[in-house]
């Protein structure tokens, strides 16, 4: 399992992806990852022996946060949504898309190098 350090700009570039962000995750990151994976497995949220892997750590306003992406994982999203709400006071969990929209001003728009000449502005 690899733990990446990412920036707020990296988060804003994750348009189209989803995951769980836990806020206030001080201490050893690997302990957080192992503990959350065990907790979600025990509660029947993580299925088929999958784990939330390829996690990323970032800091915003002095708060250490961990992003658990939903890539390559089988989970019961309904149970996860309930767990997130029930555990909010402990983990301040939020979805990646909500975090970026509410704390970072939204995702960066995709920029392309292709310019439609019919749309190009003449100076």
At 18-63, the pLDDT tens digits run: 999 999 999 999 999 999 999 999 999 999 999 998 999 999 999 9
Report the predicted TM-score, pTM, of the whole model to 2 decimal places: 0.86
Domain assignment present for 111: no
**77 lies in some domain:** yes
CATH number (domain holding residue 77): 3.30.70
* Total number of domains constituting the chain: 1
First-residue to last-residue Cα distance in the chain: 53
pLDDT digits (tens, 9 = 90+) for 54-83: 999 999 999 999 999 999 999 999 999 999
Residue 64 lies in a domain: yes
Q: Is residue 88 part of a domain?
A: yes
Nearest-Å Rg of the Cα atoms of the chain is: 17
> Is 116 domain-assigned?
no
Q: Is residue 58 part of a domain?
A: yes
Print the domain residue range for 11. 4-103
Residue 42 domain-assigned (yes or no): yes
User: Does the residue 29 lie in any domain?
Assistant: yes
């Amino acid at each position: 399992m690899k733990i990446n350090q990412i920036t707020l700009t990296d988060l804003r570039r994750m348009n189209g992806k989803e995951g769980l962000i836990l806020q206030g995750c001080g201490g050893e990151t690997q302990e957080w990852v192992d503990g959350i994976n065990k907790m979600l497995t025990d509660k029947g949220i993580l299925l088929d022996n999958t784990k939330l892997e390829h996690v990323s750590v970032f800091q915003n306003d002095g708060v250490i946060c961990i992003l658990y992406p939903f890539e390559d994982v089988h989970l019961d999203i309904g149970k996860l949504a309930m767990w997130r709400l029930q555990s909010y006071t402990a983990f301040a969990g939020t979805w990646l898309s909500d975090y970026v929209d509410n704390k970072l001003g939204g995702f960066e728009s995709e920029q392309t190098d292709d310019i439609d000449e019919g749309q190009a502005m003449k100076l």
